Amino acid sequence: MQYEILMDKKENPRKCTILPQKARQDFKIRYFQRQAPIPAFSAALLLHIDGECLSKLGKEKLDSVALIDCNWRKVEGALARVARPLPRLARIPDGFVTAYPRRNKEGNDPEAGLATIEALFIAAAFLGNWDESLLDKYHFQNSFLEINREIFKRFGLKK
C-alpha cells in the first residue's frame, strides 16, 4: 500500500500526525502553498467527504490512497488547484471517532473528524491492509484502536 499526502506548508509540525511517518518508504508527502497550482495525484483513491463510502468498495484491489492534510476550511480551495483528473473519491463511513484531543478557541470545528493518520489507517484497513505500524508513532494509538474496536468489528475489519 502506498500513501500520498498533500500537506499544507503551514501545518504545525508539533500537532501533525503524518510528519513522524515521513521516513517511511510507503509515504509520499508533498506540500502546497496558497494559490499555487498543485500537480495531480498518482494514487488510485482520494479520501474526501463527498466520496463513495469505503464500505461499498467491496473487494476491489486498490494499492494507493491519497489525502489532503490541512485545516478543514482549506480542503476545497486546495482541491480546486489540483491538476485533473482526480483519483476516485472515497469517504470513511460514519461512526469512527478520533482519539486526538481537539481544541478550537472558536468552537467551530465540524462535529466529526479524524486525525490524518487515523483516516489513513481506516482507509488502509478497508482496502485490506490492517497495518498498526501506521500508528506506531501516534501518541493516541491505543485509545484510537480501543474506542473504535466495535465499529472495526461491525465492518469485519481486524481487531
Full pLDDT tens readout for the chain, 159 residues: 999 999 988 888 888 999 999 999 999 999 998 788 999 999 999 999 999 999 998 767 899 999 999 888 889 999 999 999 999 999 999 999 999 987 655 555 556 689 999 999 999 999 999 999 999 999 999 999 999 999 999 999 985
Residue 58 is assigned to a structural domain of this protein: yes
**81: its cell numbers:** 488547484
**30: its cell numbers:** 508533498
What's the whole-model pTM score? 0.91
Number of domains, the chain? 1
Question: Under DSSP, is residue 123 helix (H, G, I), strand (E, B) or coil?
Answer: helix
The closest of 100, 96, 112, 72 to 150, measured between CA atoms, is 96
Residue 159 is assigned to a structural domain of this protein: no
Residue 8 is assigned to a structural domain of this protein: yes
**66: its cell numbers:** 491519497
Residue numbers of the domain that contains 7: 2-154
- Contacts of 74-82 spanning 24+ positions with Cβ under 8 A: 74/8, 75/48, 78/6, 78/8, 78/32, 78/38, 79/48, 81/32, 81/35, 81/36, 81/37, 81/38, 82/6, 82/38, 82/39, 82/40, 82/41
Question: Under DSSP, is residue 56 helix (H, G, I), strand (E, B) or coil?
Answer: helix
